[in-house]
Amino acid sequence: MKPSLQLRISQNLTMTPQLQQAIRLLQLSTLDLQQEIQETLDSNPMLEALDPSNTESDNVEPETASSETTNTANSDESNLSDDSNEWADNIPDDLPIDSAWDDVYQNMPNSNYSLADGDTNNFEANTSVTESIQDHLIWQLNLTPMSDTDRLIAITIIDSVNNEGYLKTSLESIVASVNIELTRDSGDNPVAESIELDEVEAVLHRLQHFDPIGVCARDLSECLGIQLLQLPDEFPLLDKAKEIVHNYLHLLGNRDYTQLMRRTRLKENELLQVIQLIQSLNPRPGEIISNTSPEYIIPDVVVKKVNNRWRVELNPEAMPKVKINSTYAALVKRADNSSDNTYLRNHLQEARWFLKSLQSRNETLLKVASEIVKIQGDFLDFGPEAMKPLVLHDIATAVDMHESTISRVTTQKFMHTPAGIFELKYFFSSHVETDSGMGCSSTAIRAIIKKLVAAEIPTKPLSDSKIANILADQGIKVARRTIAKYRESLMIPPSNERKQLI
């Protein structure tokens, strides 16, 4: 074949930098987007954060028209672009002096100053200091008289305690670690006398009586046993509770009450009292000392009911508002090719692209959230049992977008509703066929299972097969293994573990 030239017309999608930026912003969560906006504000001088108190400039892209700053209230139309908005710089006739009284005098609150109800919570949240279980134990150790060697053993044990308060390191490892530390501290002096296992056990016994009681236990049986030792001897059925905790805890976990009554020779009402006593103990004493700060979710959209109709709005507090700096934008000259002007012009174009990407993200998010609320309106009115089956393809078809775009929009985006805050992904679920021919959402099935378990008789809990039969009577055909899968996702134990004496 001879080489030849051919003219061909074709269409293809090119991933321009603007499109890549829009896609990247679309899949960011609210916190990540706030960080991205802050980084852009720091790197682009053409952008500035909009004052939250200035409500008149919301959703407005301010740009100045001329290269000189004007004193008039209405500025001329910008020559930078045909679609730029008007911006007015209002400068008062009487300019303020260089310093004001507030710059010199700072009004300090007096001793009778009291915070408002809304500010009290913020003050406590901002000034609260989280404490770990190790810090809490070290604080008590510093108040306990001990020898230097015992203190070294105690610190080594405390460092091996997890957040639940359990000691997960073997005592032999602690002995070896302390002996290595003692040898290192001896230096040129004769090697210090090494410790034995019984010394570590003695220090461990003292630590186990620190607050909270039961901390530094090696297993659940030891933790509950330590707490039972703190009760007075005249406590009813205390000996039987210690016997069950030390010898038959596995039977109690399996709720094998028949074997418990046979081995402990307890009657049913006595066994019930013992179980209530054991359940009053704390199986995770370390969790009382919380060292994790609460994580707050900022919803992206807010759903309200206005005139018997659900209205979807973007959360104005979800992200800071930004605008183009009018002063710097006025310095750009069209015909100037200097390096400074090129620098300003490039950053101005990047700022416009960034604002356009933010606007596109907000419009897409609002469009998708509105369509979700339109389909799942019954959920907002009647609860999870009214959830309808929904997949990404349904929303993509309704809003005329690709499924990948819907997936990016609904990931790590949250909706505030009267029923609570939900991730947009929560409203998507598979369906199960019913006798009526209409599908039933898996979320609705989970809600029905949770409702049935909550209303069951404690002495005769519903098995997975029984729940499947109840759903079949309602026209929902679900296999037993599917019921088990949904039950496990709801953190509901099986029927044998839910059984109670009363």
Identify which has the larger pLDDT, 421 or 54: 421
| Confidence bin at 17 (pLDDT 50/70/90) | confident
- Cα distances from 349 to residues 59, 213, 279, 330, in angstroms, run 18, 64, 66, 13
Give the tens place of pLDDT for each residue, 476-494. Answer: 888 899 899 999 989 998 8
Give the tens place of pLDDT for each residue, 356-395. Answer: 999 999 999 999 999 999 999 999 999 888 899 999 999 9
> Rounded CA gap, 133 and 138, in Å?
9
Can you give the pLDDT at residue 124?
46
Q: What backbone torsions phi and psi does residue 429 show, to the nearest 5 degrees?
A: -155, 155
Can you give the pLDDT at residue 66?
34
HSE (side-chain half, CA atoms, 13 Å) at 208: 23
Domain ranges of the chain: 133-288, 301-427, 431-498
Mean pLDDT of the chain: 80
| Confidence bin at 500 (pLDDT 50/70/90) | confident
Can you give the pLDDT at residue 53?
58
Can you give the pLDDT at residue 108?
39
Can you give the pLDDT at residue 502?
58
Identify the CA nearest to 476 among candidates 452, 444, 429: 444
- Contact, 347 vs 44, CB < 8 A? yes
Secondary structure E strands in 248-407: 301-306, 309-314, 322-324
* Cα end-to-end span (Å), the chain: 91
- Contact, 303 vs 312, CB < 8 A? yes
Cα pseudo-dihedral 493, 495, 498, 499, rounded to 10: -160
Identify which has the larger pLDDT, 97 or 54: 54
Q: How many percent of the chain have pLDDT more than 70? A: 79
Mode of pairing for the β-strands spanning 414-417 and 301-306:
parallel
Which of the listed ranges 1-5, 73-77, 461-465 does the model predict with the highest average pLDDT?
461-465
Can you give the pLDDT at residue 192?
52
Q: Which two tokens stand for residue 68?
A: 């000189």
CA angle 336, 339, 341 (to 5 degrees): 45
Rg (CA), the chain: 34
Can you give the pLDDT at residue 186?
65
Identify which has the larger pLDDT, 147 or 496: 147
The residues near 134 (Cβ < 8 Å, ≥ 6 apart) are: 158, 159, 161
| Confidence bin at 70 (pLDDT 50/70/90) | very low
Can you give the pLDDT at residue 13?
67
Amino acid at 107: N
| Crossing angle between the packed helical segments 403-410 and 17-26, to the nearest 10 degrees | 50
Can you give the pLDDT at residue 52?
60
Can you give the pLDDT at residue 255?
84
Cα pseudo-dihedral 161, 493, 380, 404, rounded to 10: 70
The residues near 259 (Cβ < 8 Å, ≥ 6 apart) are: 248, 251
> Under CATH, what is the fold of the domain 431-498?
Arc Repressor Mutant, subunit A (1.10.10)
| Confidence bin at 174 (pLDDT 50/70/90) | very high
Choose the weakest-confidence range: 58-72, 135-149, 268-282, 461-475. 58-72
Residue 64 has pLDDT above 70, yes or no: no
Can you give the pLDDT at residue 441?
87
Can you give the pLDDT at residue 21?
84
